[in-house]
């Protein structure tokens, strides 16, 4: 269900690495984030405050009710050192006769930027016999995340800026929210989400980010172009009847953290490379 670019996953219990590289001390810097302790949206307990090294218990706590499903992890070394860290974690539940399938992905920065999650996504399927109504799904999402910035095109959008949920003056009742979900996004709301130059709508940046590889270097351009600091999107797909839900896709992206972590990581990787070069002689002095 997820396209993770070049991120390679292996079973969490079988990860081993050869003893190569060199000892290196990383002094982490906590990246800037769009959220605060009082405003920390999450997807099944995972937020942009979650560290890769601490994500496994959150995955396993959720998966305890799904026997046989194990989290998988992608790891890499920090530059040429022996320091290994988690870059991504996911699980995938294959479709069965009673369950259309489910999956989740979280992607993390390097330990130089505190190994924080900056992109989290979850796809949740419903069997034909257990499809909730769209009205019930809207109610559940609103209860968890509050009133959305906008609704339309089958999605509920939450855009964050300056520590708050952005407002485009769209007020929803349960009835109007359901009507908006089934309709195109209100043009006035779409325009209000642009910057002063008419660019940077987070609706567009969300769709671009979903299509890209989830590495920092691939996402940072979109993060800088976005006219918001972060977002949560819930896409609701129609089911066996138009008022039912066959699938829901949850996405959380911390654009501010992506920008900050990308700079921290780039500087840290450059510093490590420079230090490694200084430790390794390039040649022998000639005989004099």
Is the alpha carbon torsion for 53, 55, 61, 63 positive or negative? negative
pLDDT digits (tens, 9 = 90+) for 88-133: 999 998 887 777 889 999 999 999 999 999 999 999 999 988 899 9
The residues facing 105 across adjacent strands are 90, 121
Would you list the domain boundaries of the chain?
A: 42-274
d(CA 229, CA 240) in angstroms, rounded, equals 36
d(CA 46, CA 194) in angstroms, rounded, equals 28
User: Quick one: the chain helix, strand, coil %, rounded to 5?
Assistant: 30, 25, 45
132 against 16, higher pLDDT: 132
d(CA 58, CA 273) in angstroms, rounded, equals 34
Q: How confident is the model at residue 157 (pLDDT cuts 50, 70, 90)?
A: very high
d(CA 47, CA 51) in angstroms, rounded, equals 9
pLDDT digits (tens, 9 = 90+) for 164-201: 999 888 889 999 999 999 999 988 888 888 876 666 78
pLDDT (mean) for 245-262 = 97
> Across the chain, what does the average pLDDT equal?
87
pLDDT (mean) for 127-146 = 95
Angle in degrees, CA 245, 249, 231, rounded to 5: 130
pLDDT (mean) for 26-37 = 94
Burial class (CB in 10 A: 0-12, 13-18, 19+), 17: exposed
Q: How confident is the model at residue 30 (pLDDT cuts 50, 70, 90)?
A: very high
Residue closest to 71 by CA, chosen among 87, 92, 52, 53 = 92
Residue 1 reports pLDDT greater than 90: no
The pTM of this model reads 0.88
Parallel, antiparallel, or unpaired for β 150-152 and 155-161? antiparallel
Query: Residue 9's pLDDT is what?
Result: 55
Q: How confident is the model at residue 147 (pLDDT cuts 50, 70, 90)?
A: very high
d(CA 81, CA 26) in angstroms, rounded, equals 10
Task: Give first-to-last CA distance, the chain, whole Å.
Answer: 65
């Amino acid at each position: 269900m997820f396209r993770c670019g070049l991120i390679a996953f292996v079973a969490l219990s079988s990860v081993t690495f050869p003893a190569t590289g060199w000892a290196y001390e990383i002094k982490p810097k906590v990246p800037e984030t769009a959220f605060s302790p009082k405003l920390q949206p999450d997807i099944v307990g995972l937020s942009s405050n979650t560290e890769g090294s601490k994500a496994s218990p959150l995955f396993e706590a959720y998966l305890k009710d799904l026997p046989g499903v194990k989290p998988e992890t992608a790891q890499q070394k920090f530059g040429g050192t022996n320091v290994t860290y988690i870059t991504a974690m996911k699980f995938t539940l294959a479709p069965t006769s009673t369950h259309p399938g489910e999956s989740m992905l979280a992607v993390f920065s390097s330990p130089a930027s505190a190994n924080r999650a900056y992109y989290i996504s979850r796809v949740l399927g419903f069997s034909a016999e257990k499809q909730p109504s769209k009205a019930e799904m809207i109610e559940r999402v609103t209860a968890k995340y509050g009133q959305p910035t906008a609704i339309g095109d089958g999605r509920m959008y939450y855009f964050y800026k300056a520590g708050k949920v952005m407002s485009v003056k769209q007020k929803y009742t349960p009835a109007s929210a359901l009507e908006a979900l089934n309709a195109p996004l209100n043009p006035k709301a779409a325009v209000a989400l642009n910057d002063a130059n008419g660019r940077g709508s987070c609706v567009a940046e969300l769709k671009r980010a979903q299509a890209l590889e989830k590495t920092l270097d691939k996402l940072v351009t979109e993060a800088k172009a976005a006219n918001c600091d972060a977002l949560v999107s819930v896409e609701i797909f129609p089911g066996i009847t138009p008022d039912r839900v066959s699938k829901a896709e949850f996405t959380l992206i911390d654009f501010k953290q992506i920008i900050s972590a990308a700079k921290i990581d780039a500087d840290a990787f450059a510093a490590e490379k420079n230090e490694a070069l200084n430790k390794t002689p390039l040649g022998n002095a000639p005989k004099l």
